[in-house]
Structure 1
Amino acid sequence: MEILYVLMLLGVVFMGLLLAGFLWAVRQEQYEDMDGPPYRIIMDDDDPRIPRRQKPAAQQEKSS
């Protein structure tokens, strides 16, 4: 019977930790933009602000 008290106490502590973690995530604006990342994955290649990869110096000298 005493184990029930321990388990209930652990359950309450665990739920408190979950609630604290959720509130922290909301305050840090983790749920602010839910639609943007899927579209950013698809459209990143067309963004002119993204620098293109540079060829290594050895390949640049050979191609010149």
Structure 2
Amino acid sequence: MKCDHRNLLTNTTLEFPRTGFWMMHVLGAMFLVLFGMRLAVRKASIPILAYRLFKRLQKA
């Protein structure tokens, strides 16, 4: 007996090995990294980061 399951993603661009799957994951990862960088820069500006770095270097 053959058990055949209907897959909604078969023959679409979102099927596992196809281009759409990889593009969606690469672009999603890039979006998350860039969004995180924007939030980090807004929360702690460059002068604050530089001040913390110099303060840490003085302790060593």
TM-score where L is the length of structure 1: 0.48
Q: Which runs of 5+ in 2 are unaligned?
A: 1-16
27-36 or 8-17: which moved more?
A: 27-36
Which structure has the bigger radius of gyration?
1
Q: Which runs of 5+ in 1 are unaligned?
A: 45-64
Q: Alpha carbon RMSD of aligned pairs, Å? A: 2.3
For residue 19 of structure 1, the aligned residue among 16, 34, 41 is 34
Compare relative contact order (CA 8 Å, sep 6+) and give the higher one, 1 or 2.
Answer: 2
Which residue is equivalent to 2:56? 41
TM-score where L is the length of structure 2: 0.51
Cα distance, 1:43 vs structure 2:
4.0
Runs of 4+ in 1 over 3 A off after TM superposition: 41-44
The alignment status of 1:9 with 2:24, answered yes or no, reads: yes
Identity %: 19
